[in-house]
Chain A
Amino acid sequence: GQNIDQPTEMTATEGAIVQINCTYQTSGFNGLFWYQQHAGEAPTFLSYNVLDGLEEKGRFSSFLSRSKGYSYLLLKELQMKDSASYLCAVRDSYGNNRLAFGKGNQVVVIP
């Protein structure tokens, strides 16, 4: 089975940096995804990590430590449009590679 834990909400100022954490427990880890979901909209793909380390993609970076069961998403130069829920999703190779989502972390960007 899988257990994914994300803090629920944070507020940050425009232009700042925010780090969103995700810890997980899974029988057989086979990749971790980050999705962004604006209120009332569908989730959209942000990043994918399967090996340890940092993946950078513009203003967004994602880090993975498999030994610690831990990932974070780093949002730099925050913009108002970054106000959204950020979902961490883990794929379990022992669970038919099914993707299990965390509840999401709501980020509110203020001027």
Chain B
Amino acid sequence: DAGVIQSPRHEVTEMGQEVTLRCKPISGHNSLFWYRQTMMRGLELLIYFNNNVPIDDSGMPEDRFSAKMPNASFSTLKIQPSEPRDSAVYFCASSLRDYTDTQYFGPGTRLTVL
């Protein structure tokens, strides 16, 4: 079975540009999570969707960040405009039901904002 799929794997962009990260969760999983990982702050939850509905977006840093899940098999995380401090690895994870289940992580997108 395919795991969580993320694209692109690497993204280098200039400050001020729009960045869109994509995620396909494991088929049949009802929950999707976006995380950000940096050396300084470790792994941080940005947003959690359940059945395509955003349940907890309290980790979204600011209005420059937005996330959507138009259907059960696709989600996007958008940063507009991007800033150098957004440079991090962004992970998408999915779980079968909700927060109480084991989360399976995608390979991550390494974002560098120059």
A→B interface (CB under 8 Å): 30-31, 33, 41-45, 48, 87, 89, 91, 96-104
Task: Tell me the chain B residues, 17-47 only, with Cβ under 8 Å from chain A.
Answer: 42-45
Task: Tell me the chain B residues, 31-67 only, with Cβ under 8 Å from chain A.
Answer: 42-45, 48, 55-56
Please indicate the chain B residues that have their CB under 8 angstroms from the CB of A30 in the complex.
Answer: 100
Asked whether, in the complex, the Cβ of A42 is within 8 Å of the Cβ of B43, the reply is no
- Give the CA-CA distance A81 to B104 in the complex, in Å: 20
Given contacts A31-B100, A42-B91, A48-B102, contact A96 B56 (CB under 8 A): yes
Given contacts A102-B42, A103-B42, contact A43 B105 (CB under 8 A): yes
Please indicate the chain B residues that have their CB under 8 angstroms from the CB of A87 in the complex.
Answer: 42-43
Asked whether, in the complex, the Cβ of B99 is within 8 Å of the Cβ of A98, the reply is yes
5 further A-B contacts with Cβ under 8 Å, apart from A42-B107, A87-B43, are A41-B107, A42-B105, A42-B108, A98-B99, A104-B43
- Chain B binding surface SS class: strand
Given contacts A42-B107, A42-B108, A104-B42, contact A96 B91 (CB under 8 A): no
Closest to B4 in A: A42
Given contacts A31-B100, A42-B91, A45-B102, contact A99 B42 (CB under 8 A): no
20 A-B interface contacts by CB (under 8 A): A41-B108, A42-B106, A43-B91, A43-B105, A45-B102, A45-B104, A48-B102, A87-B42, A87-B43, A89-B43, A96-B55, A97-B98, A97-B99, A97-B100, A98-B45, A98-B56, A98-B99, A99-B45, A99-B99, A104-B42
